[in-house]
Amino acid sequence: MKIKILLSLFTSMFLLFNFNAQTPSLNIQQFAHIPNSGFMVPSELNDIWGWVDSAGNEYAIVGMNDGTSIIDLSDPLSPQEVLFVPGMSSIWRDIKTYGHYAYVTTDNPSTNGLLIIDLSNLPDSANTNIYYYNGPSNSQWGRAHNIFIDDRGYAYIFGANRGSGGAIILDLNQDPTQPVEVADINNWYAHDGMVKGDTLFLAHANNSLFSIWDVSNPSNPILIAQNPTVGYYSHNIWSSDDGNYIYTTEEDNGGHLSEFNISDLNNIELTDKIQAEPGNNIMPHNAFYINDYIVNSYYSTGIQIFDVKTKGNIVNVGHFDTSPNFSGGGSNGCWGVYPYLPSGFIIASDIENGFFVLSPQYKRAAYLQGNITDASSGSSISGVDVEILNNNNNSTTSNVGGVYKIGTLDPGVYSVVFSNPFYQSDTIKQVILQNDSTTIVDITMYSLDPIELNIETKKSNSNNSVSGVDFIITNENFTYSGTTDQNGFFTINNMIPGSYSIYAGLWSFKDYCIESRSIINGNMPLVVELEEGYRDRFNIDQGWTVNSSAASGGWEREIPIVTVFNSLDTCSPAFDSDDCGKFSYVTGNLGGGHSSDDVDLGYVQLVSPSISLDSTMTNYLHLNLWWKNFLGGTSPDDTLFIDINDGTLKENLFYIQGDNSQNWHQLSLEIPNNINLNSFKIEITTADWSSGDDHIVEAGIDNFYIDNYYSTNIINSTNNSINVFPNPTPNGIIYIDGLQEPFEYYLFNISGKLVKMGSENDIQILRKGVYILKIKKEKNVIFRKIIY
C-alpha cells in the first residue's frame, strides 16, 4: 500500500529532521496538524475514531462541538477534510464504525438520537446519506454519551437519557440504518464500555466500579462480575487481546490508568496503576490496548504510550503533548486518540488545538523485578520502596507478597535502592537492564532494632530544667509526641531509628525546630535547649485561641493546602512561609475550589496567649502575613487587622484591605508602650462582610516572634504631628488637625467593617462604639483608635 511506504519513508527521515521541535515528545512524531480554525466549520473538538474503506484508504472521523467532520488521510502529510455533518451543539460526541457506516452519539438533551452516516461514497461527499435512530416508538431516547460496536454487528449505547443510562444493545445486522433494540442493561449508569468476543465490559463513572457481562446471547446479557476501580469517576475501560486483563481510567485530577487481572472473575486483582507526571494532577481520558501497549489520551499532556507486556509492570515509553499551552489538572487539551489504523498512524483530537496525525515508535521497556524477604524469618516484606537511581525518580513499592516490579525505557547499568522504615536500607549496584528483557533481583533485608530515646528540656545557657514542654518528633512514617515532666524529662520507648524533624515549644520560650536530625541510637539523651522569649512557627500548639462568627474559613494550625481561582490566581497558600517546619495558621484548609473554605459572612479572630515584655525597651512584633481578597462584582472591601489588647486598652498595629492582596511577606510592627506591657495579647482578625458580592477572603500567619531589633519593614502606628480630637468624642464629631489636604480617611468598626470614608477634616460618627480610623496621604498611612 502506498500509505505504508510513506510511513516507512518518513520514519527514516525523522532521523534527520525534527518536524515538531517546539512540542515535547518521546517516540512519537508529528506528521500533520489541522488547527480548529482550519476546519470547514471551526469549533472545538471532542472524540475521534478511524475508518478504512475497501480500497485501504484511511479516514479520521472527528466529533466537534457543532457537528461531525470526516478527514481523508490518503496523504498523511496533508490530510483533507472531505465532509462535515452539522449537528446540535455539544461538547460530547462519540463515534464508532461498522461496515461502511459511522455511528455518532451526542450528549445533548436536544439531540435527535443516534446519527448514522453512510461512508460508502467517500471521498465524494456530494451523495452522502445520513440517518437518525432514537429507539423504539414506545421507549425513545435522544442523547447518549458513548457507543461501542462489536465484531458481530451489535451496537452498545452508553449513558442514554432513558432509565438509569446503562447500556442499550442494538442489532445492526438486519438494516444498519434502522437498528433493532434487543436488550437494555439498566443496573447503573454506564459512561463507557467495550466488547471482547462475547464479553461486555462497562465503566460506571458515578459508581466508581466496572462490571462484566456475558453477551454470548446479546438479547439476554448476564452480569458475571463487578469490581470497584481505583479512584473516583470510572471513565473508560478496555480489554487486553486475550481478555485476561482490563485497563481503566479515572477522569479526575491525578487519576490513574489501572490494570486488573480478571482471569478469575471470583478473584479480580488490581495488578498495577500509574499516573502521567505524578504530582502534576494530570487527568486521564481514554485508554486503548494495542499489541501489549496502552495508548492513552490525557487532557493537558496529550498522548501517552505505556508498555504493558509484563503484567503488573506498566512503564511509560512514549508521549506527545498536543497542548503545550496547558499543564496540570483540568479538562483542557487532548480528548481522544485512535491507534488502530493499518498504516500505524495515531490520530488524535485536541479540544482547543485541533487534529493531529502522529507516527509512534513502539519500544519495549527494560524490566526489573524480584522478591523481598526478611533475613531472620524469611517472610515476605510489603511496602518496601524500590528506586532505580539516576532514572527520573523512578520508583515502586513491593506488594503484600513482597514482590516488586519496575521498568525503564532507558537500558543501562544502575544502582537500585531498597528502603523501608522498619529495615536497614540496601543498595544493589551494577544492575544491568536491557530493553524487552527482565532482570531478576531478589533481596533479603535486616530489620532495625527499636531504641529507647530520653529527652531532656532545659533553659539555654543553663542547667535549669524546663517542665511542661510539648514536643513532636516526626518523619513521613512515624510520629512520636509528648510533654516533659516536672524535671524536664520524657522517654520514648520502641522508637524506630531514622532521620526525623524535631519540634518543641512552651509559651514564653522561643520554639525549637530542627528539620532533619539522624537518631540512630539511644545512648545519648536528646537535649532541647529553649531560650526565653516569644517565637512561634506553629509546628507545636502553644495555646492560641480562635473566635469566629463566620460560616467558614476559621483559623487552623495546619500544613497549608493550596486553592486557586481559574488555574491562575492563588487563593490560599500552597505551603507555609520560608521558616523552619511546615505549619502555619491559615483561614480554612479544606483545599478544593477557591470558595470551598474561605472566610464567609463574618469575622474570624486568632488570639495569642498572654505576653509580658520589658516596658523599658522598644519592642517589635515580626510575622509573615498572607492576605488575598478578590473576586465578586464589586471591588473587594474586606479587611484584616492586627491589634494589641491588654484587656483595657486596644491599639491597632496594622490594617490591610482588599486592594492589597499579597503572598507571604514579612511585617515588622513597633509595639506601643502606652498599653500594659506586663500582660497583653495579639489579636489577628479578618472578615468577609456581606456587601451583595461574594469576595474571596484568605489569610495566613507564620513565623511569629518578638524582639528588640529594628527592621526596615517597621510600620509605626503613631504620628505625633497628626491630632485627632476630641477623643473620646462626646457627640460623635471628631476633627483631623495637622494634615494638609488632599488626604483620605476610612473609619472601621472594631470588627473591621468599613462604616464611613471621605476626605474632609471633620467626621460625624453615628453610633456609639470603638472605631479604627485609617488616614492615608499619598504613601503614608496612620491609624487612630476612636471612642464614642
Look up residue 211 and give its three cell numbers.
Answer: 462490571
What integer pLDDT is reported at residue 10 of this predicted model?
Answer: 36
Q: Which CATH superfamily is domain 366-445 in?
A: Carboxypeptidase-like, regulatory domain (2.60.40.1120)
What integer pLDDT is reported at residue 20 of this predicted model?
Answer: 34
User: Given a cut of 80, is residue 713 above it in pLDDT?
Assistant: no
Question: Is residue 693 very low, low, confident or very high in pLDDT (cuts 50, 70, 90)?
Answer: low
Percent of the chain with pLDDT over 70: 93
DSSP state at residue 380 = B
142-163 pLDDT per residue, tens: 999 999 999 999 999 999 999 9
Mean pLDDT of the chain: 90
Three-state secondary structure string covering 620-654: EEEEEEEEEEECCCCCCCCEEEEEEECCCCEEEEE
Which of these CATH numbers, 2.60.40, 3.10.450, 2.40.170, 3.30.70, describes 723-787? 2.60.40
Torsion angle of the four alpha carbons 415, 416, 421, 424, in this order, in degrees rounded to the nearest 10? -60
Other CB atoms within a 10 A radius of the CB of residue 594 amount to 19
In this structure, of 37-51, 507-521, 586-600, the range with the lowest mean pLDDT score is 586-600
User: Given a cut of 70, is residue 7 above it in pLDDT?
Assistant: no
Question: Is residue 8 very low, low, confident or very high in pLDDT (cuts 50, 70, 90)?
Answer: very low
Q: 366-445 and 545-715 share one CATH topology? A: no
517 CB-near residues (< 8 Å, 6+ apart): 499, 500, 501, 502
What integer pLDDT is reported at residue 659 of this predicted model?
Answer: 63
In this structure, of 67-76, 370-379, 596-605, 698-707, the range with the lowest mean pLDDT score is 596-605
133-143 pLDDT per residue, tens: 999 989 999 99
Question: Is residue 17 very low, low, confident or very high in pLDDT (cuts 50, 70, 90)?
Answer: very low
454-463 pLDDT per residue, tens: 999 999 988 8
List the beta bridge partners of residue 260.
246, 270
User: Given a cut of 90, is residue 74 above it in pLDDT?
Assistant: yes
In this structure, of 4-18, 201-215, 623-637, 682-696, the range with the lowest mean pLDDT score is 4-18
How far, in Å, CA of 722 to CA of 752, rounded? 23
User: Given a cut of 50, is residue 15 above it in pLDDT?
Assistant: no
Q: Answer yes or no: are the C-beta atoms of 196 and 288 closer than 8 Å.
A: no
Q: Where are the domains of the chain?
A: 366-445, 451-532, 545-715, 723-787
Which of these CATH numbers, 2.60.120.200, 3.90.79.10, 3.40.50.620, 3.40.47.10, describes 545-715? 2.60.120.200
- Strands 681-688 and 639-645, bridge-based pairing: antiparallel
User: Given a cut of 50, is residue 21 above it in pLDDT?
Assistant: no
pLDDT, average across residues 434-441 = 98
Each residue of 237-259: b (16+ CB within 10 Å) or e? bbbbeeeebbbbbbbbbbbbbbb
549-560 pLDDT per residue, tens: 988 999 999 999
What integer pLDDT is reported at residue 745 of this predicted model?
Answer: 87
With residues binned 3-state (H G I as helix, E B as strand, rest as coil), the percentages for the chain, rounded to 5, are 5, 50, 45
Strands (E), 93-220: 93-98, 101-106, 114-118, 130-133, 146-149, 154-158, 167-171, 180-185, 192-196, 199-204, 209-214
What integer pLDDT is reported at residue 18 of this predicted model?
Answer: 33
How far, in Å, CA of 290 to CA of 331, rounded? 25
Q: Answer yes or no: are the C-beta atoms of 88 and 106 closer than 8 Å.
A: yes
DSSP state at residue 205 = G
460-490 pLDDT per residue, tens: 988 899 999 999 999 999 999 999 999 999 9
What integer pLDDT is reported at residue 6 of this predicted model?
Answer: 36
CA atoms lying within 13 Å on the CB side of residue 205: 21
User: Given a cut of 60, is residue 16 above it in pLDDT?
Assistant: no
User: Given a cut of 80, is residue 207 above it in pLDDT?
Assistant: yes
| Peptide bond before residue 218 is cis, with ω within 30 degrees of 0 | no
632-691 pLDDT per residue, tens: 666 777 889 999 999 999 988 888 877 667 889 888 888 988 899 999 999 999 988 765
| Cα 691 → chain centroid | 32
User: Given a cut of 70, is residue 19 above it in pLDDT?
Assistant: no
pLDDT, average across residues 62-71 = 97
Other CB atoms within a 10 A radius of the CB of residue 440 amount to 9
Q: Determine if the pTM surpasses 0.75.
A: no
What integer pLDDT is reported at residue 733 of this predicted model?
Answer: 92
Percent of the chain with pLDDT over 90: 72
622-634 pLDDT per residue, tens: 999 999 887 766 6
How far, in Å, CA of 638 to CA of 656, rounded? 9
304-346 pLDDT per residue, tens: 999 999 999 999 999 999 999 998 888 999 999 999 999 999 9
pLDDT, average across residues 76-80 = 97
Closest by Cα among 153, 147, 134 to 104:
147
User: Given a cut of 90, is residue 721 above it in pLDDT?
Assistant: no
736-775 pLDDT per residue, tens: 887 777 888 888 876 567 788 888 888 999 888 888 888 8
pLDDT, average across residues 46-53 = 98
- CATH architecture for segment(s) 451-532: Sandwich (2.60)
